[in-house]
Structure 1
Amino acid sequence: MTNSDIPNYTPDAAWDYYIIWHRCMRAKAKIEQALTLMSKQEEENTAINADCDELISHAIYELNEIQFDLEEEEK
């Protein structure tokens, strides 16, 4: 799957995956922000590392929460 495969619109609120989709998109946005910060740097930068770490940590937290919620729904 590529970025072009992901719709750039807000899905119908009645869709079963509506909330999860939005949560995944938030995590994706954090990862994209980190990648953008990294791509603008010529050399490693401690401040940028900290910013990227925070962004990626937020994405990981969100993805872990999504995974937990999906596993709970399976029970």
Structure 2
Amino acid sequence: MSFLKRILIFVSLVLFGITGRALATTGYTSLISSDMFDGIRTDVNTAAAGIVTILIIVVGLGLLVKVFR
């Protein structure tokens, strides 16, 4: 049993060493970058500007109704 255990430990260390070296030589590349969100940022800004514009129109109409009533 101890012989089998020693073999398994040796094999796991060798495999870990091989994969560790392979991972160490691989450079990091991100899957997404911040440039991918520029379109979303533009859409959100446009939507926010539209909501603020509608709010200004509604408040202005409310003031006009209040004044002329």
TM-score (norm 2): 0.42
- Structure with greater Cα Rg: 2
Q: Which has the higher helix share?
A: 2
Higher relative contact order (CA 8 A, sep 6+): 1
